[in-house]
């Protein structure tokens, strides 16, 4: 049982009894108690949050001391035989609903000898219900806590989804609180980021990333085509061919071609694209090689007599109607 299921079971119990006790003596399950100690036990953060919401004292029993909670220990055999034996539950909610029915129709209606002919439901309604405190007006919000580390891409993994956080936190460990609606990130008790919750995938707030990273991620195919138009007709043709098939797969190559203008200038890039097109190989590596060698303004090499250039080097037009 994880911490969320552990909290759900307690919430279901409080709702069933329509009240809260002043003190709960719990076992030292990892989902409730992180570090058992007779004097200063460390509670799971989600469980401690539940105790504060309901204003109930969470008092872990001493480890290996079943006599600290004898009443519930004595009933474990009956619960296992009567409720759990031979049953399968599709979900935690299914088990909780089955437990409610079992309490109302089976366990609550038996007549133990110690109750002198009365049923547990009768004793509860006549003597114990009045001792419970009322439930809080605001319903408890179930949450799961985790402690992810901020990855080099300024994202943390919470559940099965990646969420962005401010890039200055790269390498730090955060406390993540996940509910059914939102995910909150805390550093030393201060909330540093909030995201709407999603089940899978990646959720990025571009404001969390440094400017140069934002610029890279925002350079989509439309941006590439616009920038190529500014450089020139040959560059525009190269980018169009690169993005004609599997645009997302070849997006990095198109971005790389356009980035060459930062180092060599628009005019040289346009000339290199023209030479690459004439050679029938308008790829990033070819254009980069032409610029590095400084041969972008040299005329295209003439075809040697008797040696036919393969069609794949002469461009798509060489295939005619075969494509």
Q: What is the pLDDT of residues 82-101, one digit of tens each?
A: 999 999 999 888 998 999 99
The answer to whether the beta carbons of residues 195 and 205 sit under 8 Å apart is yes
Rounded Cα distance, 262 and 87, in Å: 68
Same domain membership, residue 120 and residue 102: yes
Q: What is the pLDDT of residue 317?
A: 57
Tell me if 313 sits within 8 A of 280, measured CB to CB. yes
pLDDT tier, 321 (very low <50, low <70, confident <90, very high otherwise): low
State the total domains in the chain.
3
Do residues 121 and 129 touch, judged by C-beta distance below 8 A?
no
- Confidence band for 276, pLDDT divided at 50, 70 and 90: very high
pLDDT above 90: residue 186: yes
Spatial distance between the Cα atoms of 251 and 61, rounded to a whole number of angstroms: 60
- Find the CATH number of the domain harbouring 76: 3.30.420
**Residue 312: predicted pLDDT:** 47
In a domain, 136, yes or no: no
Domain co-membership, 11 together with 122: yes
Q: Are residues 245 and 192 in the same domain?
A: no
Residue 273 inside a domain? The answer is yes
Structural domain including 161 reads: 144-213
Same domain, 33 and 122: yes
* Same domain for 168 and 224: no
> What's the pLDDT at 120?
93
Do both 251 and 266 map to the same domain?
yes
| Helices 221-231, 251-264: crossing angle, 10 deg rounding | 30
Q: Does 8 share its domain with 124?
A: yes
Are the C-beta atoms of 146 and 165 separated by less than 8 Å? no
Domain end, chosen from 192, 213, 234, is at: 213
User: How much is the CA Rg of the chain, to the nearest whole Å?
Assistant: 34
* Average pLDDT over the chain, rounded to an integer: 85
Please say whether the beta carbons of 177 and 145 come within 8 A. yes
Least confident range of 24-28, 38-42, 125-129:
38-42
Alpha carbons 201 and 162: distance in angstroms, whole number: 6
Residue 131 vs residues 26, 71, 153: alpha-carbon distances, Å: 20, 18, 54
Report whether pLDDT(178) > 90: yes
Average pLDDT (262-267) is: 92
């Amino acid at each position: 049982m994880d911490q969320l299921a552990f909290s759900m079971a307690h919430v279901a119990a409080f709702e069933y009894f329509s009240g809260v006790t002043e003190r709960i003596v719990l076992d030292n399950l990892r989902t409730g108690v992180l570090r058992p100690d007779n004097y200063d036990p460390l509670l799971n953060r989600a469980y401690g949050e539940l105790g504060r919401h309901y204003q109930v004292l969470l008092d872990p029993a001493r480890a290996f001391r079943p006599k600290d909670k004898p009443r519930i220990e004595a009933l474990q055999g009956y619960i296992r035989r009567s409720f759990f034996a031979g049953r399968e539950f599709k979900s935690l909610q299914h088990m909780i609903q089955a437990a409610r029915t079992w309490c109302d129709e089976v366990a609550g209606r038996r007549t133990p000898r110690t109750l002198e002919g009365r049923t547990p439901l009768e004793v509860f309604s006549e003597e114990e219900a009045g001792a419970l405190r009322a439930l809080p007006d605001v319903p408890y919000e179930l949450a799961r806590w985790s402690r992810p580390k901020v990855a080099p891409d300024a994202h943390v993994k919470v559940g099965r989804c990646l969420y962005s956080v401010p890039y200055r936190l790269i390498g730090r460990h955060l406390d993540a609180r996940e509910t059914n609606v939102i995910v909150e990130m805390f550093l030393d008790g201060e909330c540093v980021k909030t995201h709407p919750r999603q089940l899978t995938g990646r959720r990025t707030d571009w404001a969390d990333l440094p400017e140069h990273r934002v610029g890279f991620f925002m350079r989509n195919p439309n941006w590439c085509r616009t920038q190529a138009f500014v450089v020139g007709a040959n560059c525009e043709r190269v980018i169009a061919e690169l993005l004609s098939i599997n645009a997302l797969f070849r997006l990095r190559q198109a971005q790389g071609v356009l980035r060459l203008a930062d180092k060599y200038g628009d005019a040289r890039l346009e000339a290199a694209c023209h030479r690459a097109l004439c050679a029938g190989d308008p790829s990033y590596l070819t254009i980069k090689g032409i610029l590095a060698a400084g041969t972008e303004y040299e005329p295209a090499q003439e075809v040697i007599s008797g040696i036919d250039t393969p069609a794949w080097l002469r461009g798509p037009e060489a295939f005619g109607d075969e494509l």
